[in-house]
Chain A
């Protein structure tokens, strides 16, 4: 029997207070589309990651390392990890 793989989703977002010019540009585009009701937009990134083992504890540890080492620049970005 093969090892059951785990699917995870990592979301990386700018910390609050960090200027997000891309989000601001999207806000401006929404205004020019006359779409009402949007207060603000912050842009981020989503990573869908498959892990080769079924151990959730180990997966979380691996994903934390993945985020800290590469996916997020923790000076300006936060990350959240969801394991399916």
Chain B
């Protein structure tokens, strides 16, 4: 597994992503700059980390999505290469058209920063096969624009194709308004593209890899990728 983490001006979770990848793969990922035009030869996985690329100017992720490296990430995805976008990385993937939908301002206008339960909706992918279907996991969330929205037709297609990766829920796995931190349609916390080689999610699995800092529920995701 050869992984690369992309660093945009304003990214701030790239080290967390790199640490999670190193723990799972035994190898430090390459850190690439947004102005680079190519991925290192043999790259299997690209990770777009969290943060506030370009200060969230225009729309979250909009400017990063048009940076030179994203052309290479797009070609990598078209080839079937794996792409993981976390938080701001998810916003960038939506803006780049590599994932459906958009991430809008949280419905209650508040930045949320806390632990959040999620239900694993599709455990049959290269990202999520380390989890059991329906398993409830606990990740950290920290975002102001995580409200996933798409038109009805797109939501239906995402649901029918099994493209929902994770849904916000309570500790028992129940998905309802009370367990939805940002107003996302159907409580969607993470989605795949149609080919299941691109995943974006708002929560931070890379921060749940060490029992010292709150749990290890994020590890199976990186371990599954390491074996992909």
Interface residues of A (CB under 8 A from B): 18-19, 21-22, 25, 69-71, 73, 75-76
Contacts and interface: CB of A to CB of B under 8 A. Distances in A.
B221 to A, nearest CB: 27
A19 B59 contact: no
B58 interface: yes
A76 B66 contact: no
Nearest to B100: A75
Given A19-B183, A73-B95, 14 more contacts: A18-B104, A19-B104, A19-B107, A21-B104, A21-B105, A21-B106, A25-B109, A70-B58, A70-B62, A73-B62, A75-B101, A75-B102, A75-B150, A76-B102
Interface of B: 58-59, 62-63, 66, 95, 101-102, 104-109, 147, 149-151, 183
A36 B62 CA distance: 37
Q: Kindly name the residue among A18, A70, A71 whose own CB sees the greatest number of chain B CB atoms within 10 A.
A: A70
A18 B103 CA distance: 12
Contacts of B101: 75
A35 B77 CA distance: 52
A47 to B, nearest CB: 10
Contacts of A18: 104, 149
B105 A76 contact: no
A44 to B, nearest CB: 12
Contacts of B62: 70, 73
30 contacts: A18-B104, A18-B149, A19-B104, A19-B107, A19-B147, A19-B183, A21-B104, A21-B106, A21-B107, A21-B108, A21-B109, A22-B105, A22-B109, A25-B109, A69-B66, A70-B58, A70-B62, A70-B63, A70-B66, A71-B58, A73-B59, A73-B62, A73-B95, A73-B102, A75-B101, A75-B150, A75-B151, A76-B102, A76-B104, A76-B149
